[in-house]
Amino acid sequence: MLKACAAILEGHPAPPSVFTRFRRKLDEERREPGLVEYLGSLLGSDEVALARAAASVALSGHLEKLYPAVVQRALSPDAEEARWTAALCRKHERAVRAALADLLQNRDARVRRGALMCAPADPASISLLVPLMQDRDAEVRAAACQALGRCREVSAIPALVEHFGRGTPPESVAAAEALGSMPGQSLIALAPYLEEEAKVLPALEILEAARSPLFPDKIVELLDAAQAPVRRAALRVLVNHDEVDAEEHLVRKLQDLDESVRIEAVELLVRNGSTRAVPALAALLVVSDELRYHAIRALGRLRAETAAAQLERLFPRATGHERLEIVAALIRIGAPGLLPFLKSRLKDAEPEVRRVAADGLARVATASELPLLVQLAEDVDWSIRNHAGWGLGRLSLPQGRDALLALVRDTEPVVARTARAALAKLPAA
């Protein structure tokens, strides 16, 4: 009955007058235990379904005595339960806002923390949230930082920076998260922390999260910092600076002494679609460390046609994952000579190479490859049969009908579904 009531109230909110009478009736109730006590016991229990129903009824009915127990569920170690509670409070934002001042002054630190987790993220709440940054409980102060971050209130930045720099670990982490949600141009107060060895990395991570274009000269300087994590973070921040030629610095960092920095530079070059970096990336194909795999992948994602021949020549001496990535890269590039290369790979001893090659063939095959697709539709590998069926559907030629009809009866359900979808594309017989 409780769950039914909760569902009805959530789906069809009643007018305030109904709950005024409801609360008056509860005040007159003399039986023990009463409804409020019953709901309160559920809110503190591990009966998730009933606790959720109780929370919903409490907020729908404006049962303010139960609000402390409701908001504490936002602190549940179960992340899903915590998210659900916060979402419910957002749905009942008006009720939570009306009680927020009392909840934030509650003697129980857990109630204050829970209220901060559920506080409405709007300017009207700011004046209530800021004082909690000086709360006697460190976790409450951290929750206040998080709440202010959700509000994206620029006026809170000086206090957040202070907690970032001088607060306890929970406060510092929460303040950093909050600062990362602020407008990037507003974080000028972080400048001193780019000079502190202990704080420079988290400060860079804040600037990255905020996509801040501040401090371009300092960011370039940090590309040569002693610690590799700092150099990587500086690279990620640099790409948000339009006035700096980030591509030039990324290419330079392909020669960094630390492999992780080189890999970071490769990934950022790809993310930015940097065609100027293709020669530098192609030069990395001669190395034999993990970087070569990333270079192969990058050239494919950049569709670097000029590197296609070099990738094909590398294939015979490449390692397992590199071989797969070379095939995938050449498919992406689609340079002349791709079809003969893919046909050769279909004879490869490695099943994964054959599967990737079959996928590529299905995507680029012309009508002249129809016989090969029909042949692949009878392969012992169900994945290859599936790719062949998809390719036959893509070509939509009547000559592929018999092969697709055979695939419809395939013992592998995925292959049969692909074949049915492919048959639907063919012109009516």
Q: For residue range 327-377, what is the model confidence (pLDDT) as tens digits?
A: 999 999 998 889 999 999 999 999 999 999 999 999 999 999 999 999 999
pLDDT tens for 293-302 read 999 999 999 9
Residues 6+ apart with CB under 8 A from 170: 138, 139, 141, 142
CA dihedral 306, 312, 317, 319 (to 10 degrees): 90
What pLDDT score does 180 carry? 96
What pLDDT score does 403 carry? 96
Q: Is the pLDDT of residue 26 over 90?
A: no
Task: Report residue 37's pLDDT band, with 50, 70 and 90 as the boundaries.
Answer: confident
263: tokens are 């890999």
Q: Is the pLDDT of residue 387 over 50?
A: yes
Nearest to 116 by CA among 80, 84, 89, 152: 89
Other C-beta atoms closer than 10 Å to the C-beta of 291 total 19
H/E stretch holding 359 reads helix 351-364
Task: Report residue 32's pLDDT band, with 50, 70 and 90 as the boundaries.
Answer: very low
Task: Report residue 23's pLDDT band, with 50, 70 and 90 as the boundaries.
Answer: low
pLDDT tens for 215-245 read 999 999 999 999 999 999 999 999 999 888 8
Report the b/e string of 322-342 with b at 16+ CB within 10 A: bbbbbbbbbbbbebeebbebb
pLDDT tens for 255-284 read 999 999 999 999 999 988 888 889 999 999
Q: Is the pLDDT of residue 419 over 90?
A: yes
What pLDDT score does 35 carry? 81
- Rounded to an integer, what distance in angstroms lies between the CA atom of residue 143 and that of residue 117? 7
pLDDT tens for 110-167 read 999 999 999 988 877 888 998 999 999 999 999 999 999 998 888 889 999 999 999 8
Q: How far out from the chain centre does Cα 319 lie?
A: 31
Nearest to 89 by CA among 126, 52, 123, 124: 52
Other C-beta atoms closer than 10 Å to the C-beta of 299 total 30
Q: What percentage of the chain reaches a pLDDT higher than 90?
A: 76
Task: Report residue 428's pLDDT band, with 50, 70 and 90 as the boundaries.
Answer: confident
What pLDDT score does 404 carry? 95
Least-confidence region, from 210-214, 269-273, 314-318: 269-273
- Rounded to an integer, what distance in angstroms lies between the CA atom of residue 424 and that of residue 429? 11
